[in-house]
Structure 1
Amino acid sequence: MSIVNIVEDINPSQKRLQDLLQRHSTEKLTLIFTSRENLDENPILREKLFRRYSVPEYIWTKVCKRLQGYFGSEDIFSSDDSTIESHVTWFHFEIKYPFPPPPKKKEGAEYVPPDPPPQDGKKPAGYAWYKIAIITTWTAPDQHTIIFLDARDSPAHSIRNELKSNCENVKNEAALENPYWSHQFLIGPILACYDQAVWNLRDLVKALEQGRRDGKHAVTNAIDSNDSDMEASRNTFNSLHEILRHALHKTEILGVAIQTLDSICSRKRIFESERYSNEAAVNIDAPESVAVAKRCAKKIGVYLDFQLSIVRSLEARARANEARIRSEITLAFSIVAQLDSQVQAKIGEAARNDSNTMVKIAAVTMLFLPPSFVSAVFSTSFFSFSPPGDDKVSRDFWIFWAISIPLTIIVFGSLYPGGRGLSFRRRVAIAAHHKPSVSHRTILPM
């Protein structure tokens, strides 16, 4: 009897999955690769598949399709409800793959980085989402069926190859009597994809940090920014926030993955406590194998706990990436604020220079304004200072100076900064702006 049967329903026209459903499986392990698109296009085939392996239709609802991860299970009992005939589990993982920056070009070699896949027919977005759903059905005592959805897309394609390689080497062993035997090698390839996605994000953060250390950070441009500098700085801020968005998603999906794996481990312990209890062991055909089954279950549980610890470690790395990119954003804003302060300081210095110049111009204007005014008044027809005879200058010329000099002193004393003149100018400004001269203070009760 064959131990492993691998059914790849990648091409629906071959009808391999339909052929499988029309016969009774005798293999110890049946591995089915299909996709959501195939089952969406063939609802009758999906209904037969779910009915054959006791899969709930609820996992095909929009609610479950939108989730980033979940786990569920169900026991199928015999007709007299005395023993468990089969155990079904279904779980889902979602991975966000940010594409790493292109590596440094080596001397004498030209590297062309691969283009990211388009998103919904649009231009490449620099990242991609991958959904991986797995359904397992264990039929007592040792028959397993694994349905792997969306195995065509990368990185799920590499997972499929690894699963095929692991399944082809399956042998008759006592561990097959545990329904969670398959989970230990199903989770491993998925964790490898999570690991790669986390380190891809770390590479993006590291590239920004390295650019800052090398002085190539667009935000740290000189103060005298031109249009190209402003555009580069804007792009850098967009990149910072885009990477932060990836980091937030990464932390979120890893947290959901931890919950999913923790649910798998908890449900496994519940199943084993019920199946291998003293009352349930009496109904097993070979009670002497209970001790062996418990040892296998413990071994599987230890490995699943190890995988759970790996995901927790990846979540810690993802949180560190999130903290690092937040630090870069804070530093970038601080640098921009410092540069802006320096620019404002230079603008203020230039304004002070302009103000000093205007003060000098105003002083010269005030110096010549009173004599000009007196000259204009004396030049009217109301006054006559014509010199008698052949004199060039009128004897009353002293009147001009007697009026102009005191008037100039009065104007300078009342308008030039200092002392009471400053108070006068403040009063004029307050009256012009209709503001009270003394600010009202509100005294709060102690």
Structure 2
Amino acid sequence: MIIPMAICVTIFEKHGADWSCRTSDLERFLTDCYDSPEPSFVFADSAALYRHNDPGCAGLRKELQKFYGMPSRVWNNVHQDSSGFFGCRDGESGSYKSWFRFFVKQLYKDQRRSDSVPEFYTYYWHRLGFFTTWSPSGRKSILCLDCPLDVVEDVKASLYETEGRPFQADPFWFHHIIVGALLGFYNNSIWTMREAALRLEKKRPQIRRPTPDYYEYHELMNHVIHSKETLLVSSEIVSKIIQRQREWHTRNFETKPAGSYDESLRRYSMQVYDDLNCYHMMLYGLKCRQESLEGRHRNNIASTSLIVAQYHGSTAVGDSRAMKVIAGLTVAFLPATFVSAVFSMGFFEADESNLSVSKSFWIYWAFAVPLTVVTAAVLGLIIYKQR
């Protein structure tokens, strides 16, 4: 007999009009709350669930698939490494199942460095998975995997503010709560990257001896590009959730005659639609802010490169002037050097009355002229091939 693994979970559930929080293990929760009609949020760590060679994990995954109606393929590497997805399934008697994932890259400043710059930021990829099960008179639960504490606390705060019977009205109330909590997480991700970009802008090199560390710029640009990917995918996920919620609302309320449904439930369902649209617009705003940050950082890189290029250009001008001085000195002293070199050879003899030239003086020209011609030809050939 395969015994499922004991995975500790935090359960936030409703009893009457109040919400309560408790801890348990996942296998016991699936057994005790199998037919509970009260809504519950279950927070767990997914690390153990992905141990494919562990029989206990395999048994627990099957229990989760039975409870939440998730497909078995959500445990494979394709889904695990995905930047995000959304899937759903209509069940019998109006029940509804869904599974979705959000990806967030978060920078964390190294507290050991007060002057932290991007290379001293650590980062973590948050893979947040969610699985919901909902039926009008049966179980209503969402399993939240790998949610950071900020998201958990935001979910709890939203639930304490929830009044009435919203979870009875619409299965997408779970999605509404989760997306609303994730907005703050995405916003914090973008602003942390903006802070890193601002630090680099303040460190922009001066024109005199600039020494920028391009590794810093490269690292931050990688973080910004990754955040762009996650925001684009997340925006599309929320768009698909809105589309499915609208279809569900139309099928269960709009196409039915007035009086055949509870009007308060219809209003709750419309609130989900309106709030999800608002959150979608806020995600769009974060995406625009990220694109602005990307453009701002690219401009910082370009201006830094121009400063360095300007410095090297001014240095090259100085070098060129120095070479002109050296060339002028060479021209000034070359004739005298040549004359002194020739007359220092043993081909000349001078006394008080006359100056005589040796008959072997031709040897100098026999070697000097051909060597000069060959050297000039080789130099000309090298210059020609370099063009």
1:289 aligned counterpart, secondary structure = coil
**Structure 1 residue 137: deviation in Å?**
1.3
Residue 248 of structure 1 and its aligned partner are, at CA, apart by 0.5
In structure 2, the CA distance between the partners of 1:74 and 1:346, relative to structure 1 (3 Å rule), is: same
Look up the match of 1:431: 377
Higher alpha-carbon Rg: 1
Using a 3 Å threshold, how does the CA distance of structure 1 residues 264 and 99 change in structure 2: closer, same or farther?
same
Report the identity percentage.
Answer: 20
> Of Structure 1 and Structure 2, which has the larger fraction of its residues in strand?
2
Q: Distance in 2 between matches of 1:245 and 1:49?
A: 36
Change (3 A) 1:436 1:66: closer
Query: Contact 1:70–1:92 (CA<8 Å) still a contact in 2?
Result: yes
Match of residue 150, structure 1, among 146, 154, 158: 146
Q: Structure 1, unaligned stretches of length 5 or more?
A: 79-83, 103-110, 116-122, 224-228, 380-384, 386-392, 404-410, 412-425, 440-446
Residues 8, 319 of structure 1: CA spacing in aligned structure 2 closer, same or farther, 3 A cutoff? farther
Q: Which residue pairs with 1:416 in the alignment?
A: none
Q: Evaluate the alpha carbon distance shift between residue 245 and residue 360 of structure 1 in structure 2; reply closer, same or farther with a 3 A threshold.
A: same
Q: Distance in 2 between matches of 1:436 and 1:59?
A: 65
Asked whether 1:160 is paired with 2:131, we answer no
| Paired residue secondary structure (1:98) | strand
Q: CA RMSD in A?
A: 3.7
2:182 matched to which residue of 1?
190
Match of 1:131 among 122, 127, 130: 127
Question: Cα offset for 1:7?
Answer: 7.0
Alignment of 1:270-289 (within 5 A): 270-276=247-253, 278=255, 281=256, 287-289=259-261
| Deviation of the 1:247 alpha carbon | 0.7
What corresponds to 2:224 in structure 1?
Answer: 247
Distance 1:342 1:92, change over 3 A: same
For 1:343 and 1:6, how far apart are their aligned partners in 2? Answer: 70
Which is worse superposed, 198-207 or 290-299?
290-299
The answer to whether the aligner puts 1:45 opposite 2:60 as a matched pair is yes
Which residue type is aligned with residue 243 of structure 2?
Answer: S
Equivalent position of 1:2 in the other structure: 15
Distance 2:115 2:208 in 1: 34
How much does 1:55 deviate?
Answer: 1.4
Q: 1:376 aligned to 2:372?
A: no
- CA deviation after TM superposition for structure 1 residue 88, in Å: 0.9
Q: Where do 5+ consecutive residues of structure 2 fail to align? A: 1-13, 52-56, 358-364, 366-371
Q: Does 1:29 align with 2:28?
A: no
Separation of aligned partners in 1, 2:21 and 2:130: 15
CA separation in 1, counterparts of 2:227 and 2:207?
31
TM-score, with normalisation over the residues of structure 1? 0.69
CA contact (8 A) 2:105 2:125 kept: yes
Change over 3 Å in CA distance of 1:170–1:88 after alignment to 2? same
What whole-Å deviation, never above 9, does each CA across 1:397-432 have from its counterpart, x for those lacking one?
A: 3x76xx9xxxxxxx9xxxxxxxxxxxxxx9887634
Q: Distance in 2 between matches of 1:352 and 1:184?
A: 74
**Within 1, Cα distance between the matches of 2:377 and 2:69?**
87
CA 1:355–1:23: 2 relative to 1, 3 Å: closer
Q: Give, as a single letter, the amino acid of the residue that structure 1 aligns with 2:15.
A: S
CA distance in 1: counterparts of 2:184 and 2:160, whole angstroms: 20
TM-score (normalizing by structure 2): 0.79
Per-residue CA shift, 1:112-148, capped at 9, x if unaligned? Answer: 7699xxxxxxx98621211111111111147521111
CA contact (8 A) 1:93 1:132 kept: yes
What is the count of residue pairs matched by the alignment? 356
Would you say the 8 A contact 2:89–2:98 is kept in 1? yes
Shift of 1:179: 1.0
